[in-house]
Structure formats: structure tokens, C-alpha cells
């Protein structure tokens, strides 16, 4: 099939052969005729952002427009009910170390088993949702996201289990903070803020009574608000002292907090949350943050997105390295947002 292209490099079909030379707008030869435009060449040609005019031939192989199966982690309804029951028991038994330990161990076992048996390590928040109640939802989400990050990092089964447990328990210290501060719809005053910043310490103290919970898990809970630039709390630790578990929990916690509504703020979409997290990157371990980006689904397959210019499309597959730039079908066109320069502005899920 022969096609004349008056457009941009992004319009070149991969695998085509140029019938004519390609010149830049200033007349510089970009690519001679009879060149196979393979993936590698296409990648380097994309550095040129101007217009091109070329005739190409290519095999007319139908493009796969099927929506790829969303392989993100999914909890069964019975699993969600089990998680809700356990987290309720955990929060109600902060002064009963044995009951707390048994419940969180059971729950961590179940969640890490689901992670272990999952075909693909991915996060789709709508599938994780177990409850609208913040504490329950947030605890399970942070445990699950932390476990998924650790699994993607290639950590041992024991570590995946333990970081899941630390995620479930990360805010357990809030049980010692007065509810009127926890649920205050207005901005906290300085004293209230100081009190709430004590919750990692209270969490560590509660878990110190649970002899079957390891010191690494306790330290993870204590350090989940520490930042790599030493701006965190309660101890303003340097990056070398925070520990891997605390660094994983910090990323999972910020993402889940941003995507969850609270009395004083609306929920951000996963995509908006990732954009915000990019602006906070100096606070995170970059390697762990990249792993997180690898598993998070900002725009789930099948969701509707609006592109700049008013076009509406359907997400058909993900670009793993670019969670904010999926492949979208608009009418009969397949648009890969990771390399299509026409659609650089933010896209919005309907
Ligand atoms: Fe916290």
C-alpha cells in the first residue's frame, strides 16, 4: 500500500519504506528514499518536530484495536469482606497485642497471596476499593500497593508479606489521636498538627507490644512520613537512615492519600496524583518511585479520555514506562500518546 504523508514523523507507519527523500522544512535531508523505517530509526527521527512530506509503501496489516485485558490486581468480594472484617478488628484492638498480631498476620497472608498469584502486578484503584470509610480503605490500599511495589522490585516473599503488613499498620498510631482532630474538616492549627505528627511514634509504641511483629516493620511504620530530602517527620531522617520499607510506604501512602476524598479535600484522579507526585520527586527514593510508575494504571483500559482539541477516545492499552500516556483509539485512528506530539497536553478521564 502506498501513502503520501503531509504531516509529521509521528505519521510514519513503523515498517514502511520511503519512496521519496524526506527533508526538513529548511531543506536538510532527514532520510533518503528506499529506507526501511524501523522502530530504531523512527525513534531517532522523532527528534525532528517539524513538518515532512514523503511517499511511503507499507504492508497493510490490520492494527489490533481490541481493548487489552486489564490485568491489574483484583480482589474478590469475599476477600474485600474479609479485609474489612480484619482491619476493623485491628483498629479496635490496639491495646490487645495478640489479637492485633493475629488479625494483621492473617490479612497480610491473604493480600500477599493474592499478589503472589496475580498474573500481572498492576494497580487499578477502583478494583481495590473495600469500603468508603477512610481508615479501612486507606490501610488496605497502602498495604496492597506497598506489597505490589515490593513484588515488582523482585523482593523476597517474606519482605513482600512484611511490607504489606507494615502498610496495613502504617497509620495504626492514629487510633491514639483524638477523633475531633482526625476528622476535623477545617485546617489544623499548629498544636493539632503537632499532635497528629506524633502518630508514627504512637504506631511504633503500639507495635513494640506485639512481639511477633519484626523491628523492621515497626521502623517502617515509624518512618512512613520521612522524606529523602530530610523534610519529613517525626525525626527528619536523612535518606540513608529511612530504610527500604519506610521508603516504599511513603510512596504508597502519598498516592493513596491523594486519590482519596477526605472531609477537607476532594479526591484527585490517579493521573492528577501522579502529576503531583512528579513535582515531589525529591522526597521519594527515585528507583522505588520508578517501580511504582511501572505498576500504576492512571487511565485503565476501556476508560474514556478527552484529548486536547476536543477529541474523545478509548484507552486500549498501556505504555508501561509512561503511565500518563496510554494508547488511545479515536474513531478508526490508534493514537500512541507516548510519541504523538499532537496531544501533549493533559488528558482527562470522563
Ligand atoms: Fe500516616
185-198 pLDDT, tens digit per residue, is: 888 899 999 999 99
Ligand 1 centroid to Cα of residue 253, in Å, is 7
Ligand 1 centroid to Cα of residue 42, in Å, is 46
Hey, which bits of the chain come out as E strands?
2-7, 17-18, 22-23, 29-31, 52-57, 304-306, 312-317, 327-330, 333-336, 348-349
| Domains parsed from the chain with CATH numbers | 1-61 (no CATH), 77-295 (1.10.3210.10), 299-350 (no CATH)
255-302 pLDDT, tens digit per residue, is: 999 988 877 788 888 888 888 998 898 999 999 998 998 888 778 788
Q: How far apart are CA 206 and CA 228, in angstroms?
A: 25
Closest by CA position to 247, among listed 323, 119, 159: 159
Q: How far apart are CA 314 and CA 327, in angstroms?
A: 8
With beta carbons less than 8 A apart as the criterion, state whether 164 and 191 touch. Answer: no
87-113 pLDDT, tens digit per residue, is: 889 989 999 999 999 999 998 998 888
Burial 187-196 (b: 16+ CB within 10 A, else e): eeeeebeebb
Ligand 1 centroid to Cα of residue 31, in Å, is 55
| Confidence at residue 155, expressed as pLDDT on a 0 to 100 scale | 96
Ligand 1 centroid to Cα of residue 170, in Å, is 6
Ligand 1 centroid to Cα of residue 122, in Å, is 23
161-172 pLDDT, tens digit per residue, is: 999 999 999 999
Q: Which grid coordinates are listed for 197?
A: 505528627
Higher pLDDT, 102 or 349: 102
With beta carbons less than 8 A apart as the criterion, state whether 283 and 309 touch. Answer: no
Ligand 1 centroid to Cα of residue 199, in Å, is 7
Ligand 1 centroid to Cα of residue 155, in Å, is 24
Ligand 1 centroid to Cα of residue 345, in Å, is 33
CA angle 280, 282, 285 (to 5 degrees): 105
Ligand 1 centroid to Cα of residue 232, in Å, is 11
Amino acid at each position: 500500500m502506498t501513502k503520501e504523508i503531509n504531516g509529521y514523523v509521528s505519521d510514519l507507519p513503523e515498517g514502511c519504506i520511503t519512496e521519496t527523500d524526506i527533508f526538513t522544512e529548511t531543506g536538510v535531508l532527514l532520510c533518503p528514499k528506499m529506507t526501511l523505517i524501523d522502530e530504531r530509526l523512527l525513534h531517532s527521527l522523532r527528534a525532528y518536530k517539524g513538518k515532512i512530506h514523503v511517499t511511503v509503501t507499507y504492508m497493510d496489516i490490520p492494527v489490533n484495536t481490541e481493548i487489552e485485558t486489564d490485568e491489574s490486581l483484583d480482589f474478590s468480594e469475599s476477600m474485600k469482606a474479609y479485609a474489612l472484617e480484619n482491619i476493623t478488628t485491628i483498629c479496635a484492638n490496639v491495646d490487645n497485642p495478640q489479637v492485633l498480631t493475629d488479625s494483621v498476620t492473617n490479612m497480610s497472608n491473604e493480600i500477599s497471596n493474592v499478589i503472589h498469584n496475580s498474573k500481572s502486578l498492576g494497580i487499578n484503584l477502583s478494583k481495590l476499593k473495600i469500603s468508603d470509610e477512610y481508615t479501612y480503605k486507606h490501610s488496605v490500599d497502602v498495604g496492597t500497593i506497598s506489597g505490589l511495589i515490593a513484588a515488582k522490585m523482585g523482593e523476597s516473599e517474606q519482605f513482600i508479606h512484611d511490607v504489606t503488613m507494615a502498610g496495613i499498620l502504617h497509620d495504626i498510631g492514629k487510633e491514639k489521636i483524638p477523633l475531633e482532630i482526625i476528622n476535623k474538616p477545617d485546617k489544623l492549627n499548629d498544636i493539632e498538627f503537632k499532635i497528629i505528627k506524633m502518630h508514627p511514634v504512637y504506631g511504633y509504641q503500639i507495635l513494640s507490644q506485639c512481639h511477633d511483629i519484626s523491628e523492621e516493620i515497626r521502623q517502617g511504620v515509624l518512618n512512613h512520613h520521612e522524606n529523602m530530602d530530610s523534610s519529613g517527620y517525626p525525626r527528619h531522617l536523612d535518606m540513608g537512615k529511612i530504610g527500604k520499607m519506610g521508603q516504599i510506604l511513603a510512596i504508597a501512602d502519598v498516592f493513596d492519600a491523594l486519590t482519596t476524598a477526605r472531609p477537607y479535600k476532594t479526591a484527585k484522579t490517579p493521573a492528577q496524583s501522579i502529576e503531583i507526585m512528579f513535582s515531589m520527586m525529591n522526597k521519594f527514593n527515585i528507583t522505588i518511585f520508578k517501580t511504582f510508575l511501572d505498576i500504576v494504571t492512571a487511565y485503565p483500559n476501556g476508560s474514556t479520555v478527552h484529548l486536547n482539541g476536543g477529541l474523545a477516545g478509548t484507552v486500549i492499552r498501556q505504555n508501561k514506562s509512561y503511565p500518563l500516556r496510554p494508547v488511545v483509539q479515536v474513531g478508526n485512528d490508534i493514537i500512541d500518546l507516548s510519541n504523538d506530539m499532537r496531544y501533549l497536553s493533559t488528558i482527562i478521564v470522563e
